[in-house]
């Protein structure tokens, strides 16, 4: 049997049945109270039955006033846990483990959403003509930084109470913790900025706080950029240094990805001229870091084929993170196990504008997630333009729903 289907044991002695991990995707499938919807819970049931060893949820926000999108799920210290317990139970069918990805968007908040738009420094997103779509951030105070640490901790504690097997702290893709790591965004001159040690302080403090408030069997992982793929940004040397700092905290896994809203490398697009591999975009970075750390490493981005999954593991990376391919074929691991290695038709968007292209790709993925959650089959033949328009209409309705909730 291929190494792909060998079990894997994390440093805290918990195990998963194989090396295939359903990586996080932006689902935007909460109900009207920002809790997991029936469709979202059904979706995770499909993935659990589909054969992945570990499921990592899409963004669960630590603060309902700081959202990546209006359909996001929120878990805080006051959340009622019934829906979350059902989500965890459903995702743990078929001897599957489930971790909750927990996140704060920082400055990556759409202006129409309102609420908190935080960042380490008063530096707005540069999205070209679309920059006005996002709120202008304010530099965080010490009190706000302390509050964010508490919120990550509260969410992790609640996740464990709800039955999740662990959390993944999102410190990649330009969200708040990644903003603190970035020398382009973090231009503070206090203990939270300047040197890499200072820029990584918030991430480390979040991990320490979580570890002191959950059981030893509850897994803690970090999603980290291998690089931001922006000139002068967080790079591979920085990533390795942060990984080394995390070693002392005995975490269970680091997922290596890359990019942000400004440079969506997680979709194969960079802003610094570098060309990513056509498959397993970040494998070279992940393989290099895996050789230099005792922490288990997972890489995600552009993995669709069984052969690619085997290549990832052959290069010393411990776990294979798969996202879009599992949105289109939730039972892909079962197919691989049965020897079905047919290629998946991944939606292609070849528009010149990288921002619109990125939005269209995300819209296509989210539309397919909703299809699967509703009991339908995913489709790679959906129109990118129509899907993007549909997504904008849906988002507008969800924004009104969110604003109504917040006004109450």
Q: Which residue has the tokens 């892909």?
A: 332
Helices (H) and strands (E) in the chain, counts: 13, 14
Longest alpha-carbon distance in the chain: 56
- 296, two tokens: 């288990």
The C-alpha atoms of residue 251 and residue 165 are separated, in whole angstroms, by: 14
The reported pLDDT for the residue numbered 265 is 43
- CA angle, corner 5, sides to 4 and 8, nearest 5? 90
Question: Is the distance from CB of 127 to CB of 181 less than 8 angstroms?
Answer: no
- Helices 82-91 and 38-50 cross at an angle (nearest 10°) of 20
Q: Give the distance from CA 19 to its chain's centroid.
A: 18
Q: Which helix (H) or strand (E) holds 138?
A: strand 138-139
Beta strands 166-171 and 219-225 are parallel
Give the list of residues 6+ apart from residue 298 with CB closer than 8 angstroms, or none: 21, 23, 253, 254, 255, 256, 286, 317, 318, 319, 320, 321
Q: Which CATH superfamily is domain 3-345 in?
A: Aldolase class I (3.20.20.70)
The reported pLDDT for the residue numbered 99 is 98
The C-alpha atoms of residue 16 and residue 82 are separated, in whole angstroms, by: 25
Q: Which residue has the tokens 């990019």?
A: 259
Question: Terminal CA-to-CA distance of the chain, rounded, Å?
Answer: 55
How does pLDDT run along the chain (408 residues), one tens digit per residue?
589 999 999 999 999 999 999 999 999 999 999 999 999 999 999 999 999 999 999 999 999 999 998 999 999 999 999 999 999 999 999 999 999 999 999 999 988 888 999 999 999 887 677 778 888 999 999 999 999 999 999 999 999 999 999 999 999 988 999 999 998 999 999 999 999 999 999 999 999 999 999 999 999 999 998 765 556 567 888 889 999 999 999 999 999 987 655 555 444 444 434 444 545 567 888 899 999 999 999 998 888 899 999 999 999 999 999 999 999 999 999 999 998 876 677 777 888 887 788 889 889 999 999 999 999 999 988 999 999 999 999 999 999 999 999 998
- 243, two tokens: 């990984």
Give the list of residues 6+ apart from residue 295 with CB closer than 8 angstroms, or none: 11, 243, 246, 247, 251, 252, 253, 254
Beta bridge partners of 138: 118
Beta strands 15-16 and 8-9 are antiparallel
The reported pLDDT for the residue numbered 261 is 59
- 4, two tokens: 């792909």
Q: Which helix (H) or strand (E) holds 248?
A: none
The reported pLDDT for the residue numbered 176 is 97
Say how many CA atoms lie within 13 Å of 106 toward its Cβ: 29
Q: Which residue has the tokens 């990649």?
A: 172
The C-alpha atoms of residue 160 and residue 140 are separated, in whole angstroms, by: 29
Question: Is the distance from CB of 99 to CB of 165 less than 8 angstroms?
Answer: yes
Beta bridge partners of 36: 30
Looking at the chain, how many residues does it have?
408
Q: Give the distance from CA 367 to its chain's centroid.
A: 18
Q: Which residue has the tokens 């530096």?
A: 123
Return the SS3 of 198: helix
pLDDT in tens, 116-132: 999 999 998 876 777 78
Threshold 0.85, pTM exceeds: yes
Cα-trace Rg, the chain: 19
Which has the closest alpha carbon to 178: 136, 133, 234, 229? 234
Beta strands 15-16 and 219-225 are unpaired
Beta bridge partners of 92: none
The reported pLDDT for the residue numbered 134 is 85
- 160, two tokens: 């464990």
Q: In this structure, is the dihedral angle defined by the CA atoms of residues 122, 127, 129 and 133, taken in order, positive or negative?
A: negative
* Mean pLDDT of the chain, nearest integer: 90
Q: Where are the domains of the chain?
A: 3-345
């Amino acid at each position: 049997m291929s190494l792909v289907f060998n079990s894997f044991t994390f440093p805290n002695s918990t195990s998963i049945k194989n090396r295939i991990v359903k990586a996080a995707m932006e689902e935007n499938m909460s109900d009207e109270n920002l809790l997991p919807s029936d469709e979202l819970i059904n979706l995770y049931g499909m993935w659990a039955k589909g054969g992945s060893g570990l499921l990592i949820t899409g963004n669960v926000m630590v603060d309902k006033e700081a959202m990546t999108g209006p359909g996001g799920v929120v878990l805080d210290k006051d959340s009622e846990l019934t829906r979350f317990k059902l989500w965890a139970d459903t995702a743990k069918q078929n001897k599957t483990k489930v971790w909750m990805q927990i996140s704060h968007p920082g400055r990556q908040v759409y202006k129409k959403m309102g609420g908190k738009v935080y960042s380490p420094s008063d530096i707005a997103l540069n999205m070209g003509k679309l920059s006005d779509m996002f709120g202008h951030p304010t530099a965080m105070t010490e009190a706000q930084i302390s509050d964010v640490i508490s919120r990550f901790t509260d969410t992790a504690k609640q996740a464990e109470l709800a039955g999740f097997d662990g959390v993944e702290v999102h410190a990649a893709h330009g969200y708040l913790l990644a903003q603190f790591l970035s020398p382009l965004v973090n231009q503070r001159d206090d203990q939270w900025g300047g040197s890499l040690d200072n820029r990584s302080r918030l991430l480390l403090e979040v991990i320490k706080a979580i570890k002191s408030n959950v059981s030893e069997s509850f897994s803690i992982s970090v999603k980290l950029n291998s690089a931001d793929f922006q000139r002068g940004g967080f790079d591979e040397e920085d990533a390795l240094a942060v990984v080394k700092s995390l070693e002392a905290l005995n975490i269970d896994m680091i997922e290596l990805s890359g990019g942000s809203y400004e440079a969506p490398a997680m979709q194969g697009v960079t802003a610094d001229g570098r060309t990513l591999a056509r498959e397993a975009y970040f494998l070279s970075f992940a393989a290099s870091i895996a050789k230099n750390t005792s922490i288990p490493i997972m890489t995600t981005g552009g993995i669709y084929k069984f052969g690619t999954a085997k290549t990832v593991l052959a290069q010393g990376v411990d776990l294979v993170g798969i996202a879009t391919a599992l949105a289109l074929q939730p039972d892909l691991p079962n197919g691989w196990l049965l020897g079905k290695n047919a290629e998946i038709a991944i939606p292609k968007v070849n528009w010149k504008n990288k921002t619109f292209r990125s939005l269209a790709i995300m819209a296509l993925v989210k539309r397919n997630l909703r299809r699967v959650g509703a009991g339908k089959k995913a489709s790679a033949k959906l129109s990118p333009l129509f899907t993007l328009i549909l997504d904008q209409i849906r988002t507008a309705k969800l924004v009104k729903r969110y604003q109504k909730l917040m006004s109450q």
